Chains A and B, each alone.
Chain A
């Protein structure tokens, strides 16, 4: 069911999918490739994980299907494209703000990236 309040914190898969859809609508494989690129190859999702997350995100109202189209860069099969919703944008913005605050706290405590938190 679509909710009016975005879930927080977001799972890494949901965050990456929202980020991939934040600039434009994409089909499943394009999301997969964008997530891989954004994470420098550290996050690789298979179809099971990707579409499981997409299903839950549609239910939560974070993204929606935006119709079937042919991707001119691939074959002539019509593909389902997904688009971020207003709630999805709010959730993404809130999550990124949470990350910024978290990084700011971490930087105040350990300004040098070489600092060792619990001593040597």
Chain B
């Protein structure tokens, strides 16, 4: 009985120690680690062996693990952000160099800032999803596809506009599509099951945009390039991307091995 109380006490101490692990690691492994620690103590108690010194040794061993994981987390975090920043700079160099050789490419400072923020943000969001995925490949693919869809939607809309020109106010409806994706993802807290709903809603919203545009501003859909077939084809492309992403998140949910944060 006294040993049971000791085991319970040591388990509580161990649970506190596990709080020192990086958040993602803790959310994934703290519970199984605590159970394993408890199993170790239970088996030692059954064999009538002492517990306190053993507990202290496990604490030291776990502290070494905490130090290793914290060091790695700090290193990975700063390294990956640096890689994303470098990648963004490299991509922006392409139009910068092209401008020196051709007048076809003519970017303003605003274009560079806009593209820089967009590419860097996409990279950071993918990094966040990659961490959340924790080895779940359908989750990573789903996140990548959704990010690519949002990225292209903003890029194409900003550059030429999906319906008519980029100045056509009908295109502002796509901000609503992106808002559904973003708000839905936040409500889902990036969990696969919630992401399925968020992306299905996004795909439906995307499909509704050309229909509403056709009702509200038919001349913008019929009269200007890419024309009615082009507008619907472009929107269908994005619907497929969002729906495909939802299917991948559904698969990720079925495998069930993402971080529970």
Contact = CB atoms under 8 A, between A and B. Distances in A.
A29 B134 CA distance: 21
Given A2-B135, A49-B61, A74-B39, A54 B29 contact: yes
A50 B36 contact: yes
Contact of A58 (B33, B36, B39, B257): B257
Contacts of A79: 32, 35
Contact of A48 (B31, B63, B134, B140): B63
B65 A49 contact: yes
Interface in B37-64: 37, 39-40, 42, 57-58, 61-64
Contacts, number: 75
Contact of A52 (B65, B134, B135): B65
B134 A58 contact: yes
A52 B37 CA distance: 14
B25 interface: yes
B130 interface: yes
A29 B65 contact: no
A16 interface: no
Contacts of B193: none
A57 to B, nearest CB: 9
A38 interface: no
B163 to A, nearest CB: 38
Main secondary structure of the interface of B (DSSP, over half): helix
Interface string A45-59: 011111110110011
Contacts of B255: 64
A78 B39 CA distance: 13
A69 B206 CA distance: 41
Nearest to B134: A58
Interface string B180-202: 00000000000000000000000
A51 B65 contact: yes
Contacts of B64: 48
A34 to B, nearest CB: 13
Interface in A47-93: 47-52, 54-55, 58-59, 61, 64-65, 67, 74-75, 77, 79-80
Interface in B59-79: 61-66, 68-69
Contacts of B39: 29, 74
A1 interface: yes
Shortest 8 CB-CB contacts between residues of A and residues of B: A48-B65, A46-B61, A48-B62, A29-B39, A65-B257, A28-B36, A58-B135, A51-B29
5 contacts: A2-B135, A32-B40, A47-B40, A47-B65, A65-B257
